[in-house]
Amino acid sequence: MSVFVRDSLSGGMVEVGRDGKVGLYVCGPTVYDHIHIGNARAPLFWDVVVRYLRSRDYDVTFVQNITDIEDKIIAKANAEGASWQEVVDRYTDSFHGRLEMLGIGLPDVEPRATQHIPEMISLIEELVEKGHAYAPGNGDVYYSVESFPGYGSLSHQNPREMRETEKGQTDDKRSPLDFALWKASKPGEPEWESPWGRGRPGWHIECSAMVEKHLPEGADIHGGGTDIRFPHHENELAQSAAAHPEHTFVRAWAHHGMVTFGGTDKMAKSVGNVLDVQRAVKLHGRNAVRMWLLQSHYSQPIEYSAEILEEKRRSYERLLRLYRQISDPDTSSELSDELAAGLRGRFDEAMRDDFNTPEVVATLFEAANRAAREISDRPESAGEFGSLAGAIEEVMTVFGFDLARELAVEVGGVRVRYTEEPGEEVLGLAANRELARRAKDWATADRLREELAEAGWAVEDTPDGPILSRR
């Protein structure tokens, strides 16, 4: 079975994976600062896509680059009095650490721009030779937008109406729309040898070179944000199509919507309205962040607010409680089998139709709510949902929630279970409350429950000990 992706270039659905293989390229971070939850949307979403495709036996090659040379990196290094390599290493480590906080795996290939200077120079030479680029003699090389008739097709713009994308670099350009492929070195900047003199590559040429090297048959899917559809992806397409018109560069372009703050402004470091991933996980928990991002279609913008994240956390906890009720079943009833088959079928249908994660999440809750109503009517039926528990676990594991993993710790002779790390103080409150309950000291137990609630935690009493969850 194939997967269909809505292509930003054609606007239509494009079939990928027909031969059982999928080459995926996603534009990764420019490593000059910690990533915020807006930056995390793409890696989290594509992590889920890769998990799904591999669960269906596709041979996936996932490439996500690191831009490790760019004006922002140089500016950060100058501001800190550090080397650009120190800035790159620090924030690459930070990027990896924050992916781990969200349970996001690393790509199969994570190429860095500076590791591909020879490939970029070779590609630029081809563009110059074919008349699509020119060197004015000052050490710079520019792409000639006028030389490529298809320019503007990806962003659906008319070149005559486009804005200039590289202001301050117009003196030697034939047209304001032309963009830099190679930049002559400036004092104190990193530089490499080239046929045009010492310098460094422009931003756009990086991904063209890396796609061609690591996905030589072309990318089945090229992902990135709507904010870089123009000019970055437009320029990538122009470069690669002009240099190698006989070769397929990308079969389907998939652009994810921006995270907005307050419903209007894009979350961005330049605006200052960002929420660092580390802070988001501490405030809401990684499962809430995942639920929030996956309950909207990747192509649409999504709003952040603390209230929205808390609602998603409560939704996840409800689903988790139902799963716990049915995850150690005696049998599978006819209703269980019906719900499990419906969930698995809709899961495949939705994911194969442009990776429709919100449809999957909606189906999950529909199945869970139907089971919960049955258990409310017949409490003994909690042991009859074996097949549904298996289907929920399969879907949620692909979505990165890892339901099968439950953490527990022994505190003062009390086993306390939890899915999000609560910290020593909260664990102590939960353990002391359980000891108070055993001693039938209900006043103390009630007081400790209130203290837990004030700290943002709910406690569920079970015969095997308390279970903590974020409120």
Condensed to tens digits (0 to 9), the pLDDT of residues 266-278 reads 776 666 678 899 9
Distance CA 305, CA 309 (A): 6
Q: How confident is the model at residue 325, as a pLDDT?
A: 87
Residues 155 and 301 in one domain: no
CA 459 to chain centre: 31
Q: Which residues are annotated as a binding site for ATP?
A: 269
Q: Which residues are annotated as a binding site?
A: 27, 207, 232, 236, 269
What average pLDDT score do residues 140-159 get? 95
162: in domain: yes
Q: How confident is the model at residue 139, as a pLDDT?
A: 95
126: in domain: yes
32-59: pLDDT as tens digits: 999 999 999 999 999 999 999 999 999 9
Residue that is last in its domain, among 349, 379, 398 = 398
Mean pLDDT taken over the chain:
92
Residues 136 and 241 in one domain: yes
What average pLDDT score do residues 191-207 get? 96
What average pLDDT score do residues 453-457 get? 89
Distance CA 310, CA 415 (A): 27
CA 68 to chain centre: 19
The torsion angles phi and psi of 4, rounded to 5 degrees, stand at -115, 135
Distance CA 156, CA 149 (A): 13
Q: 411: number of CA atoms within 13 Å, CB side?
A: 23
Residue from 335, 289, 334 nearest 316 by CA: 289
264: in domain: no
Residues 193 and 307 in one domain: no
11: in domain: yes
Give how many domains the chain has, as a whole number.
Answer: 3
Residues 315 and 342 in one domain: yes
DSSP secondary-structure letter at 267? P
Q: How confident is the model at residue 85, as a pLDDT?
A: 96
Structure confidence at residue 98 as a pLDDT band (50, 70, 90):
very high
Given a contact cutoff of 8 angstroms between Cβ atoms, the answer to whether 91 and 44 are in contact is no
- With the C-alpha atoms ordered 420, 423, 427, 429, is the resulting torsion angle positive or negative? negative
261: in domain: no
Q: Which residues are annotated as a binding site for Zn(2+)?
A: 27, 207, 232, 236
More confident residue, 160 or 90: 90
Given a contact cutoff of 8 angstroms between Cβ atoms, the answer to whether 464 and 433 are in contact is no
267: in domain: no
Residues 36 and 85 in one domain: yes
Q: How confident is the model at residue 271, as a pLDDT?
A: 62
Q: How confident is the model at residue 248, as a pLDDT?
A: 94
Residues 13 and 151 in one domain: yes
385: in domain: yes
Q: How confident is the model at residue 407, as a pLDDT?
A: 65
Residues 94 and 170 in one domain: yes
Residues 33 and 156 in one domain: yes
How far is CA 228 from each of CA 47, 203, 233, 293, rounded to the nearest angstrom? 20, 11, 6, 20
What average pLDDT score do residues 99-124 get? 96
Residues 356 and 448 in one domain: no
Structural domain that includes position 342: 277-398
294-347: pLDDT as tens digits: 999 999 999 999 899 989 988 988 898 889 889 888 789 999 999 999 999 999
Residues 182 and 329 in one domain: no
pTM: 0.86
Residues 205 and 341 in one domain: no
Residue that is last in its domain, among 398, 429, 462 = 398
Distance CA 337, CA 343 (A): 10
Q: How confident is the model at residue 264, as a pLDDT?
A: 58
Q: Judging by DSSP bridges, how do beta strands 302-304 and 265-266 pair with one another?
A: unpaired
Q: How confident is the model at residue 405, as a pLDDT?
A: 52
Given a contact cutoff of 8 angstroms between Cβ atoms, the answer to whether 304 and 343 are in contact is no
329: in domain: yes
Residues 327 and 225 in one domain: no
Distance CA 396, CA 224 (A): 24
